[in-house]
Amino acid sequence: MNIDMNIKIRNTLTEIIAVAIAITWMYSKLNAAANMSIASITQVLVQGIGISILAAIFFAIVIAIVSAIITKSKEKNVIDERDNMIEFYALRLSNVIFGISLLIILALLGWFNLPINFGIIAITLSVFLASICSTFLKIYLYK
Amino acid sequence: MAKKKIHIENTVRRLRFNNNEMTQGQLAELVGISRQTVVAIEKYKYTPSLELAFKIALAFNKEIQEVFYIGK
């Protein structure tokens, strides 16, 4: 990993790592989703969201410390108008992806008569998908 | 007026070197933006807002048109 990489890209990468960890964890817990109760599924999903938030904070701190030790300097993470613009584009993309995903999920649930368990999991995963797509857009724009 | 897209270029990089070889970090701190934004502006990848453009021009003690201009 290039330690001198753009601080914004570095921060964005930590989000992707956190989401990947949360999805992997949820996948391991939701193997028997068809036989699980809605309460236990939502419990796993909420825990997964919590894990992704905690992992994002943890990796952001670890990477910032490692970077500061190696480069022997601490770069300030200033938020300016360009960051706000990129955040806006990313938010817009994630809204679009989540909206489309939600429509597709509802359509699938209605037409194919899929169980509600599938719907809950799919909606949560669409949130993560939207988040991943927006972070990739941020990386592209920051490059 | 024609809807032709204009390409705004700048002399930030040259002005930095003419100002005691000011670093990108120093300029960023002076105008309150991140170093990455200075890099993006110098590479013409980002066109700053009017306010930021004025701030950059003021940092070099220049008129805005001496820093930002329409390129070919």
Q: Is the pLDDT of residue A1 over 50?
A: no
Q: Does B28 touch chain A (CB under 8 A)?
A: yes
Residue with tokens 């500061």: A68
* DSSP H stretches of helix in B1-72: 12-18, 24-31, 35-42, 50-59, 64-67
Burial A47-58 (b: 16+ CB within 10 A, else e): ebeebbeebbee
Q: Does B32 touch chain A (CB under 8 A)?
A: yes
So what's the pLDDT on residue B1?
59
How many degrees, rounded to 5, is the angle at CA A100 between CA A98 and CA A106?
A: 100
pLDDT in tens, B16-56: 999 989 999 899 999 999 888 999 999 999 999 999 999 99
Counting residues of chain A whose pLDDT is more than 90, the rounded percentage is 26
So what's the pLDDT on residue B27?
94
Q: Is the pLDDT of residue A2 over 70?
A: no
Q: Closest partner residue to B33 among A7, A77, A78, by Cβ?
A: A78
CA–CA distance, B46 with A54 (Å, rounded to integer): 33
pLDDT in tens, A43-96: 888 888 899 899 989 988 888 888 788 777 666 677 889 999 999 999 999 999
Q: Is the pLDDT of residue A125 over 60?
A: yes
So what's the pLDDT on residue B38?
93
A-to-B residue pairs, Cβ atoms closer than 8 angstroms: 33
Q: Is the pLDDT of residue A3 over 50?
A: no
Domain ranges for chain A, please list them.
7-142
CA–CA distance, A125 with A40 (Å, rounded to integer): 16
Q: Is the pLDDT of residue A4 over 60?
A: no
User: Which residue out of B33, B34, B55 would a mutagenesis test of the A interface target, given it has the greatest number of A Cβ atoms within 10 Å?
Assistant: B34
Between A72 and B67, name the one with better pLDDT.
Answer: B67
- Provide, as residue numbers in chain B, all residues whose Cβ is less than 8 Å from the Cβ of A81: 33, 37, 48-49, 52
ipTM: 0.82
CA contacts within 13 A on the Cβ side of B16:
17
Residues 6+ apart with CB under 8 A from A68: A74
Residue with tokens 């930030």: B12
For the record, the structure tokens of A87 come out as: 């955040």
- Note the residue count of chain A: 143
CA–CA distance, A80 with B52 (Å, rounded to integer): 10
**Cα pseudo-dihedral B49, B55, B61, B62, rounded to 10:** 10
So what's the pLDDT on residue A94?
95
Q: For residue A22, give how far its alpha carbon lies from the nearest alpha carbon of chain B (Å).
A: 30
So what's the pLDDT on residue B17?
94
